[in-house]
Structure 1
Amino acid sequence: MEVVSSLPNNEKVILVGHSLGGIGISLAMEAFPEKISAAVYLAAIAPGLSFTTAEFFTEFFRRNTGERLLDTQVLFDHGPEKPPTSLLFGEKLISSRMYQLCQPEDIKLATLLLRPTKLFIEELASESLFAKERFGSVQRVYIICKEDEMFHDLQEWMIEKASIEQVMTIEASDHMPMLCKPHVLFGCLLQVAEKYV
């Protein structure tokens, strides 16, 4: 937010959000639409004008029951009757459902860097977070990763719910295309840059 807010008035950027980063770029689009020429959701959570992040997590947990989450810990800091507050991805989940097409050294590094990921479900539950004249004025692109076991069929469901019109696809990519398909990802981002700059 600080970087985008500090841009000169005549400069615009293209934001790319990966995974949970889709939430961050969406909030930046609402705050600074005049400074963003396009937003790219890379296998990311993509909220919409009437599609909240809380809705995504409800569907995510409905489709990803305990056995599909493998050794991931779902944390409930405010009690089990409240929505989950964070996730701590497990090594088995990372190696088999997120980084399964990546090099072993990338998987090893990822497991060494594990920490709880805050979900902000209650904070982001309001439909009024995004306005059509602000968030809705920024061009949105979604890049589907076809072998993404983490978001699997959620990607197309989100695209429809969030009304994203431009969609690109990276074949044979897990949840981490920047590691398993970096050249293809670069090509997609270059196409977006050529179209929106």
Structure 2
Amino acid sequence: MGNRFMRMTKKDPKEISGSKSKRMGSRSQRKLLVEEEMLQRQVLSMALHQSQRFEGSMSRRLNGGNTASRRRTLSDPFSNGKQLPEFLDSLKCKKIVLIHGEGFGAWCWYKTIALLEEAGLHPTALDLKGSGINTTDSNHVTTLAEFSEPLIDYLQNLEGDEKVMLVGHGVGGACISYAMEQYPEKVAKAIFLCATMVSDGQRPFDVLAEELGPAEHFMKESKFLIHGNGKDKPPTGFMFERQLMRGLYFHQSPAKDVALAMVSMRPIPLGPVMEKITLSAEKYGTCRRFYIQTLDDRALSPDAQEKLVRENPPEGVFKIKGSDHSPFFSKPQSLHKILVEIAQTS
């Protein structure tokens, strides 16, 4: 019996070694996945903890008036005067929909959400298709309509004549422009935050060309391109290397927010960025627009932002000193103050 058992279980030493190697490789891979998941949880936990501690006192009540030709320049910190929720009771539109920019997700608005809620407004942050925790592969997002789908779905589901304020950051500006053309009656105000506020027939990439170079050259030569359908097929997206991303987007942002971004940023779908947008005076042109400039921005330079404002003038222009391309991280209080002022503008 003992001998028969030995014969049944005896294996070639090479087979044992190979099996052991596979098990060790599998364990090592699982360990790396677990460690990566733990890191993401730790960073998200830090961000949430920071949000809970983030008091971000509200700005004092701002004087009303027409902002058509007014420009304001702000820098953190601002007045520590508490803002009374009663003063917002008279607002017809309290819903603010926050649309992130290229590579970002709804996660980037966590400070802004906390501040707006404290002020008595009703913010909602959406993940665009292929972004944030949206499960779509960004390589499969080929049009601006697809990219903007979560925003369009949200607007379609609004009840009756309900309206919202839209805030678009970066390339998210093209998405809110597209939404304004589709559902102008649903948009009370549109706020472009260091965003691609394109004109009719323009591509979002045209706005970024100053930093990234001509589109044709970028499509052929850029080392940041992603070929999701194979090297022999046209590129489907792009993503900057971490060090460059830090310098472009986050050079004035707190280290904890940068850490959150480094584990959360996703590739940028190329199709929507290269698509020319059709905007009409009858639809897009009827919506009220505001622009917030970031004066220490390396991803979309102050000069490029000034050119956008000059070529496609909005109703009001605001400026934030010392802000990089991520004012929701680097200057959250100044950003909040401006958003509240625009919400009040009659």
What range describes the TM-score normalised by the shorter chain of this pair? 0.7 to 0.9
Equivalent of 2:279 in 111, 127, 130? 130
What SS class does the counterpart of residue 120 from structure 1 fall into? helix
Distance 2:201 2:224 in 1: 29
Aligned to 1:108: 259
Aligned to 2:326: 176
Q: Deviations over 1:19-50 (max 9, x none)?
A: 11111111110111011011001011111235
Instruction: Please say if residues 49 and 136 of structure 1, whose CA atoms lie closer than 8 Å, have aligned partners that are also in contact.
Output: no
Equivalent of 2:288 in 128, 132, 139? 139
Give the residue type in structure 2 aligned to 1:141.
F
Give the residue type in structure 2 aligned to 1:171.
K
Q: Aligned pair in 2 of structure 1 residues 132, 79: CA closer, same or farther (>3 Å)?
A: farther
Instruction: Please say if residues 54 and 121 of structure 1, whose CA atoms lie closer than 8 Å, have aligned partners that are also in contact.
Output: no
Give the residue type in structure 2 aligned to 1:95.
R
Q: Aligned pair in 2 of structure 1 residues 47, 8: CA closer, same or farther (>3 Å)?
A: same
Q: Deviations over 1:32-75 (max 9, x none)?
A: 101101100101111123544353244443289x9xxxx97134
**Are 1:43 and 2:194 counterparts?**
yes
Q: Aligned pair in 2 of structure 1 residues 119, 162: CA closer, same or farther (>3 Å)?
A: farther
* Structure with a larger share of its residues in strand: 1
Give the residue type in structure 1 aligned to 2:282.
E
Distance 1:97 1:53 in 2: 17
With 107-116 and 31-40 compared, the bigger mean Cα shift is at 107-116
Q: Tell me, which stretches of 5 or more residues in structure 2 are unaligned?
A: 1-151
Query: How many correspondences in the alignment?
Result: 188
Q: TM-score, normalised to structure 1's length? A: 0.82
Distance 2:188 2:255 in 1: 37
Q: Aligned pair in 2 of structure 1 residues 33, 55: CA closer, same or farther (>3 Å)?
A: same
Give the residue type in structure 2 aligned to 1:168.
F
What SS class does the counterpart of residue 143 from structure 1 fall into? strand
Distance 1:122 1:21 in 2: 10
Instruction: Please say if residues 76 and 86 of structure 1, whose CA atoms lie closer than 8 Å, have aligned partners that are also in contact.
Output: yes
Distance 2:287 2:329 in 1: 28
Q: TM-score, normalised to structure 2's length? A: 0.49
Aligned to 1:167: 317
Equivalent of 1:151 in 274, 288, 300? 300
Instruction: Please say if residues 17 and 44 of structure 1, whose CA atoms lie closer than 8 Å, have aligned partners that are also in contact.
Output: yes
Identity across matched positions, percent? 30
With 187-196 and 111-120 compared, the bigger mean Cα shift is at 111-120
Q: Tell me, which stretches of 5 or more residues in structure 1 are unaligned?
A: none
Q: Aligned pair in 2 of structure 1 residues 141, 173: CA closer, same or farther (>3 Å)?
A: same
Equivalent of 1:120 in 258, 262, 271? 271
Give the residue type in structure 2 aligned to 1:23.
A
- Quote the offset at 1:162 in angstroms: 2.6
- Greater Cα radius of gyration, structure 1 or 2: 2
- Quote the offset at 1:112 in angstroms: 1.3
Aligned to 2:338: 188
Instruction: Please say if residues 103 and 180 of structure 1, whose CA atoms lie closer than 8 Å, have aligned partners that are also in contact.
Output: yes
- Quote the offset at 1:87 in angstroms: 2.0
Aligned to 2:250: 99
- Quote the offset at 1:76 in angstroms: 6.0
Q: Aligned pair in 2 of structure 1 residues 159, 75: CA closer, same or farther (>3 Å)?
A: farther
Q: Aligned pair in 2 of structure 1 residues 72, 14: CA closer, same or farther (>3 Å)?
A: farther
